């Protein structure tokens, strides 16, 4: 398990006074401010975040040391990470997306189906993007209790009962 969890991303500048558009990936979106200061994935930069207001698809925020639109524009695309120990512990049936990526996926008979490439959400529920072994194709598996009855982080594997014909 990684020690850094991606909690948000800067999607561009907002206005001319150095504010940024901020997307929060937290269950309670406004909690991103509580995890500040946040850093880049490699830890080379640290940012203090102050939320200003909610906007469509996120927030406007002030970042310590950023005063101009040009400085804010330069931050576009930066993903923001918080140390795992600063985040709340999760119940048994919830997982950080980063912990699921790279896990091997087996069917209920023990056959390897593939490896989790990413976790996606297009509005309804999470989907596991699974890379099929010896193939460049991927399959989207619904991340529901019916389709994924077991996630064993300690063993690094997922047991899936995919819908008929998916694989």
Could you give all domains of the chain from N- to C-terminal order, each with its CATH number?
4-85 (2.40.30.60), 97-160 (2.30.30.240)
Per-residue pLDDT of the chain (167 residues; tens, 9 = 90+): 568 889 999 999 999 999 999 999 888 899 999 998 999 988 899 999 999 999 998 999 999 999 999 999 999 999 999 998 888 888 878 888 888 999 999 999 999 999 999 998 877 788 999 999 888 889 999 999 899 999 998 899 999 999 888 88
| pLDDT at residue 34 in the model | 93
Predicted TM-score of the model (pTM): 0.74
The set of residues, in sequence order, having a beta carbon less than 8 Å from that of 133 and lying 6+ positions away, is 112, 114, 115
| pLDDT at residue 26 in the model | 87
| pLDDT at residue 19 in the model | 95
């Amino acid at each position: 398990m990684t020690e850094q969890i991606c909690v948000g991303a800067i999607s561009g500048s907002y206005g001319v006074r150095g504010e940024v558009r901020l997307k929060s990936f937290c269950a309670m979106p406004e909690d991103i401010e509580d995890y500040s200061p946040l850093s880049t994935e490699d830890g080379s930069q640290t940012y203090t975040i102050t939320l200003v207001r909610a906007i469509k698809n996120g927030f406007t925020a002030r970042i310590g040391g950023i005063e101009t639109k040009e400085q804010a524009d330069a931050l576009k695309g930066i993903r923001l990470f918080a140390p795992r120990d600063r985040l709340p512990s999760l119940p048994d049936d919830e997982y950080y997306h980063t912990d699921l990526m790279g896990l091997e996926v087996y069917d209920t008979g023990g056959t390897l189906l593939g490896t989790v490439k990413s976790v996606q959400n297009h509005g309804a529920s999470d989907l596991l993007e699974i890379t099929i072994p010896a193939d460049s194709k991927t399959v989207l598996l619904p991340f529901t209790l019916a389709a994924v009855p077991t996630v064993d982080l300690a063993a690094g594997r997922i047991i899936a009962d995919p819908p008929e014909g998916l694989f």
